[in-house]
Amino acid sequence: MKKNNDNDKLELFLKSNYPKTPQAPRNELSNIILNISKKEESSFSIFKAVNNLVSLIQQNLVATGSVLATTLIVLLATQNYISQHNGQLVTISESEMTKLLQVEDGLAGRSIASDWLKSAEKI
Partner 1 sequence: MNKETHFKDIYDEHNIKVRSMLYSITKSSDIDDLVQEVFIKIWNNLDKFRGESKISTWIYSITVRTAYDHFRKIKKDNKNTDEGLKQIGIPSNEKDIDNKALVRFGLDNLHKDQRVVVGLHYLEGFSLAEIAAIQEVSIGTVKSRLFYAKKKLLDLFSKHGVAL
- Of 16 and 93, which CB lies nearer to partner 1 in the complex structure? 16
Whose CA is closest to 105, among 76, 73, 79, 77?
73
* Nearest approach, Cβ of residue 74 and partner 1 (Å): 22
- In this complex, which beta carbon is closest to partner 1, that of residue 39 or of residue 54? 39
Pick between residue 38 and residue 110 the one whose CB is nearest to partner 1: 38
> Cβ 84 to partner 1, closest distance in Å?
12
CB atoms within 10 A of CB 110: 12
CB of 21 to partner 1, least distance (A): 4
| CB atoms closer than 10 angstroms to residue 78 | 22
Are 18 and 35 spatial neighbours (Cβ–Cβ below 8 Å)? Answer: no
Judged by the rule CB under 8 A, the positions of this chain that interact with partner 1 are 1, 6-7, 9-11, 13-19, 21-22, 24-25, 28-29, 31-32, 35-36, 39, 86-88
Smallest distance, partner 1 to C-beta of residue 81, A: 14
Give the Cβ contact number of residue 92 at 10 Å: 16
Please, are residues 89 and 39 in contact by the beta-carbon 8 Å criterion?
no
